[in-house]
Each structure stands twice: as structure tokens, then as C-alpha cells.
Amino acid sequence: MMNSRKKAPEHVRANMKENFVISSYYEYHFWEMAYQKEMWQTACLDGVGANGTPRSDK
């Protein structure tokens, strides 16, 4: 863990901020979907396997 007296380089801090904003966006939408009782859209994923690769069983 980083010592509290040391700061990460600016490019690392910018990357951390970007990742925080992105994850916050997705978390907000996750909880909004739960609150609205919405279902996850899977039709767009039909035929897509792990890591976005085409499924071999299709």
C-alpha cells in the first residue's frame, strides 16, 4: 500500500479517476435498473461467448 505522504504520478491519478467515473456510471445504472425492476437485455448477446468472441455452438 502506498505511504500517505507519497502521491501517485499524475498520469496514474488521471487513470484512477477515469476508472472511478466509469465504474460509478455502471454502478448507478445497475441500481437504477434494480429500482425500476428492469430486466437485463440479452438479445444483443445471442451468439456471443466469453470475452465477446462468437460462440461455437451457433
* pLDDT over 90 (residue 4): no
| Type of residue found at 6 | K
pLDDT tens-place string over residues 9-18: 999 999 999 9
* pTM value surpassing 0.75: no
pLDDT tens-place string over residues 26-55: 999 999 999 999 987 766 666 666 666 666
Q: What is the pLDDT of residue 41?
A: 72
C-alpha cell at 50: 466469453
Distance of CA 28 to the CA centre of its chain: 11
- Dihedral class, residue 52 (left if φ above 0, else alpha if ψ from -120 to 50, else beta): left
Please tell me which residue, 21 or 52, carries the higher pLDDT value: 21
What angle (nearest 5°) sits at the alpha carbon of residue 52, between those of residues 46 and 53?
90
